[in-house]
Structure 1
Amino acid sequence: MESEFINLTAENLAREHLCCIIRSRTAHPGVEAKRRWLADRLGEGHVFRKLNARATAFIEYAPLETAWVPIVGENYLYIYCLWVTGACKGKGYGKELMEYCLADAREKGRSGVCMLGAAKQKNWLSDQSFAKKYGFAAVDTTENGYELLALSFDAAVPQFAKTAKRQEIDRQELTIYYDFQCPYIEKSIETVRKACEADGIPVTFIQVDTLEKAKSLPCVFNNWAVFYKGKFETVNLLADEAYLKRILKK
């Protein structure tokens, strides 16, 4: 099964699809934005491994030291996303991808692997029940139910940055922190922007465009975070107006 997968590299990045949004002929702004983001990350040890087919089956991870998340620790890998869907499900691809990541961590002498989870499974987060089958367990938590899941190979464990547990900002208007690591970000920004303009709702978008900004965010973050009335709401992308309106009613 090993030959069925490929890793994105500087050489093949421009021609390979990125799994989440598969395009063949026309450019997609979200996909191209992610390509540019990845181009800068691959040299930092970022890994994007996918099924060598037109399908959604991939894992994306990076050294924790250079992962754009407010999580700190030494010598860990951080899994941004492990996603297998559609016709690919039930074929062992998720197992193959997870085991590749764990073997990579061990081969490089890492202390372990970690990922963002929650006390109750949330949308836009990898399947934590699947991860727990490999021994991942919560090593840190936030007051609103997010968890840092880790599989430790030694005594070391990572933790949320102190700022990530603040979950408050001074801004009262709808405020969204984002980067371009997910191809759906551009679509979500456009959805929120149009809805807010139509209803006269003020909104502020803050691009997380450096590692330093990502490590000091005032909430958990995987590529998107929403605040309203100064309170952290979710890392879920606001893909439809109904979800946005539920937040604005609070």
Structure 2
Amino acid sequence: METDFVNLTAENLADEHLCCIIRTKKLHQGVEAKRQWLSDRLSEGHVFRKLNAKATVFIEYAPLETAWAPLIGDNYYYLYCLWVSGSYKGEGYGKQLMEYCLADAREKGKSGVCMLGSKKQKSWLSDQSFAMKYGFEVVDTTDNGYDLLALSFDGTTPKFAENAKKLSIESEVLTVYYDSQCPYIHQKIEIVKQYCDSHEVPVDLIKVDTLQEAKGLPCVFNNWAVFYKGKFETVNLLDVAYLERILKK
């Protein structure tokens, strides 16, 4: 089994592929936006570790204090994403990546590791049942079924910021908050734009550009959040079918 992993650094970021969307020669706008976003995060202790192969096998996490998620806690890591896909599933790569993150947290004296989950597993969120095998437990919840899972080393626990539990905004129009953390976001925003333009659907696309903005959002957020008629709908990235289901409400 391939066990050669590499961590992205300021020195290799420009040359390494970013796993989620694999391209050879042609530049991909979502990938390049993610590359720029990462270039500003690595100095904050953000970790992107991947299999040294053209494969979607990686883990991404950051100190909770600088993680772009509306969470409160001291001395934790926030796990954005752990993803193993295709023929690489079932080969133990997820185990190696998770164990690396937990060992890194312990070595750096962290209080634990936390991640976003839900009562029903959502696409675009890391597999919480896999995390629970390592001792992750639900430590906070929202009224609409999202959970904060944590593995605590010292008995302390993080929590959702109060604003994250608001789950409503004043605007009634379709509203999407997004950042550049995920390479798929660029194309999903284009899908929403094109659909709303062609169907004359009012839409507000709000790019989250700062840590302060991300921490202050009125909903749970991993890199994307959707509201409609003033109500929070999902953290899932939208395709046309999903968008149409929301608009029928």
Q: Distance in 2 between matches of 1:23 and 1:13?
A: 15
Within 5 Å, give how 1:80-91 maps onto structure 2: 80-91=80-91
Q: Which residue of 1 aligns with 2:242?
A: 243
Question: Shift of the alpha carbon at 1:2?
Answer: 8.9
Could you list the per-position Cα deviations for residues 17-64 of structure 1 after superposition, in whole angstroms to 9, with x for gaps in the alignment? 100100110000000000000000000000000000010100000000
Question: Shift of the alpha carbon at 1:3?
Answer: 5.3
Q: Is 1:30–2:43 an aligned residue pair?
A: no
Q: Is 1:195–2:217 an aligned residue pair?
A: no
Within 5 Å, give how 1:140-179 maps onto structure 2: 140-179=140-179
- Secondary structure at the residue paired with 1:247? helix
Question: Shift of the alpha carbon at 1:155?
Answer: 1.6
Within 5 Å, give how 1:25-174 maps onto structure 2: 25-174=25-174
- 8 Å Cα contact 2:164-2:220 kept in structure 1: yes
In structure 1, give the amino acid aligned to 2:231. Answer: K
Q: Which residue of 1 aligns with 2:20?
A: 20
- 8 Å Cα contact 2:3-2:51 kept in structure 1: no
Q: Distance in 2 between matches of 1:193 and 1:159?
A: 34
Are the structure 2 counterparts of residues 2 and 46 from structure 1 closer, same or farther at C-alpha, using a change threshold of 3 Å?
farther
Question: Shift of the alpha carbon at 1:87?
Answer: 1.1
Where does the alignment leave 5 or more consecutive residues of structure 2 unmatched? Answer: none
- Secondary structure at the residue paired with 1:60? strand
TM-score, scaled to structure 2: 0.99
In structure 2, give the amino acid aligned to 1:84. Answer: V
- Secondary structure at the residue paired with 1:220? coil
Q: Distance in 1 between matches of 2:241 and 2:178?
A: 20
Question: Shift of the alpha carbon at 1:82?
Answer: 0.1
Report the number of matched residues.
Answer: 249
Could you list the per-position Cα deviations for residues 148-187 of structure 1 after superposition, in whole angstroms to 9, with x for gaps in the alignment? 0000001210000000000000011000000000000000
Q: Distance in 1 between matches of 2:218 and 2:235?
A: 12
- Secondary structure at the residue paired with 1:104? helix
Q: Distance in 2 between matches of 1:109 and 1:171?
A: 43
Where does the alignment leave 5 or more consecutive residues of structure 1 unmatched? Answer: none
Q: Distance in 2 between matches of 1:26 and 1:119?
A: 39
Q: Distance in 2 between matches of 1:179 and 1:59?
A: 18
Runs of 4+ in 1 over 4 A off after TM superposition: none
- Secondary structure at the residue paired with 1:135? coil
In structure 2, give the amino acid aligned to 1:229. Answer: K
- Secondary structure at the residue paired with 1:22? coil
Could you list the per-position Cα deviations for residues 174-224 of structure 1 after superposition, in whole angstroms to 9, with x for gaps in the alignment? 000000000000000000000000110000011111100111100000000
- Secondary structure at the residue paired with 1:121? coil
Aligned-CA RMSD value: 0.9
TM-score, scaled to structure 1: 0.98
- Secondary structure at the residue paired with 2:204? strand
Are the structure 2 counterparts of residues 22 and 2 from structure 1 closer, same or farther at C-alpha, using a change threshold of 3 Å?
closer
